[in-house]
């Protein structure tokens, strides 16, 4: 409604980052509470998962409940998804024996990756997507949605604005090596973060006048030394991804970067804290967002504050 009245389109570009993407929920909570209307959501990987659920009509409260229910479910507790996450991020209070067991488990998964397309079974990740994402076409979402993935065969960015929502999100979340690439027609699709970690350009190309970008990936920091060829390989990839991300972020009007520290992208233990960090970062950015909003958007927001709230309960 707001976009029709003002003619200006405000987009939210939600970046990838695995579990760190739970911070996106905190961003959405604050934007909704502050009545900052979003006309378009573009999501990559975790951003596609959280953004897709919200665009489909789930309220932040409902998404939070689905996160809590999933993490407490027997399905998750008995899954390889949790097992791999635990092996990569052992509890800080774990004893030496437990840590050694987790180390061996981690090495087992690393070795297995040499003989398969992915570490995780496809069925487990499909189950996770189905838990969060309604079975619908992207064109049916309440908020217009773009889902970004990467075609590994042609090396191209693929932006979905139509088609099965669950399949598009699955493709966007298919982290190379962790989740098996998703075959869709002539494409072999993997994580959108390979070509667009924070999909600002996709939002601009869709006609966004203002873009709020949310970065949840770890910031690159100086390392004391590199000891193995694998260290060098990974470090080179980190630097390349960081520079490409910076270039895309130049096109954003406002960048929100929650302070998530060194949380691993598969560490599920602090989900609620990640959401809170997203809220804090968005509240700190409200002044910048207000200043960047088109005039009529600001006026609409001011007027809406005078009207009793009618928040979604779904």
45 is an active site residue = yes
CA dist 259 and 247 (Å) reads 21
Q: Phi, psi at residue 62, to the nearest 5°? A: -70, -40
User: Which residue out of 37, 39, 45, 209 is catalytically annotated?
Assistant: 45
Query: DSSP string of the chain?
Result: -HHHHH---EEEEEPP-GGGGGHHHHHHHHHHHTT---SEEEEETHHHHHHHHHHTT--HHHHHHHHHHHHTSHHHHTSHHHHHHHHHS--TT--HHHHHHHHHHHHHHHHHTTSSSBSS-HHHHHHHHHHHS-S-BGGG-SS-EEEEEEETTTTEEEEESSSBHHHHHHHHT--TBTS--EEETTEEEEEGGGT-SS-HHHHHHTT-SEEEEE--SPPP---S---SHHHHHHHHHHHHHHHHHHHHHTT-SEEE----TT--TT--TTHHHHHHHHHHHHHHHHHHHHHHS-HHHHHHHHHHHTS-------
Evaluate whether 48 touches 172 at the Cβ level (below 8 Å): yes
Active site residue 191: yes
Q: How many whole angstroms separate alpha carbon 7 and alpha carbon 209? A: 9
Catalytic residue, candidates 37, 39, 151, 191: 191
Distance CA 111, CA 27 (A): 38
Backbone angles phi, psi at 39, to 5 degrees: -95, -15
Catalytic sites, residue numbers: 45, 191
């Amino acid at each position: 409604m707001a976009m029709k009245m003002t003619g200006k389109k405000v987009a939210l570009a939600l970046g990838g980052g695995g579990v760190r993407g739970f911070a996106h929920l905190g961003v959405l909570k604050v934007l909704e509470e502050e009545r900052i209307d979003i006309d378009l959501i573009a999501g990559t990987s975790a951003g596609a998962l959280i953004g897709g659920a919200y665009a489909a009509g789930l309220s932040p409260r409902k998404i939070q409940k689905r996160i809590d229910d999933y993490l407490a479910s027997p399905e998750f507790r008995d899954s390889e998804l949790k097992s791999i996450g635990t092996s990569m991020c052992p509890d800080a209070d774990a004893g030496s024996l437990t840590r050694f067991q987790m180390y061996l488990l981690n090495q087992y998964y690393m070795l297995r990756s040499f003989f398969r397309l992915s570490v995780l079974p496809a069925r487990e990740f499909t189950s996770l997507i189905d838990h969060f994402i309604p079975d619908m076409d992207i064109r049916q979402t309440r908020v217009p949605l773009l889902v970004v993935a990467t075609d590994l065969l042609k090396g191209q960015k693929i932006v979905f604005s139509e088609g099965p929502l669950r399949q598009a999100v699955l493709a966007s979340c298919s982290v190379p090596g962790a989740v098996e690439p998703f075959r869709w027609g002539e494409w072999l699709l993997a994580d959108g973060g390979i070509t667009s970690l924070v999909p600002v350009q996709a939002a601009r190309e869709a006609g966004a006048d203002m873009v709020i970008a949310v970065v949840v990936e770890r910031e690159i920091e100086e390392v004391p030394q590199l000891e193995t060829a694998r260290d060098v390989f990974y470090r080179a990839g980190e630097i390349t991804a960081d520079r490409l991300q910076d270039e895309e972020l130049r096109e954003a009007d406002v960048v929100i970067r929650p302070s998530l520290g060194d949380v691993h992208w598969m560490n599920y233990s602090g989900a609620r804290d990640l959401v809170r960090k997203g809220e804090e970062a968005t509240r700190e950015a409200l002044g910048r967002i207000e200043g960047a909003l088109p005039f009529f958007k600001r006026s609409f927001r001011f007027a809406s504050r005078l009207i009793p709230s009618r928040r979604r309960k779904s």
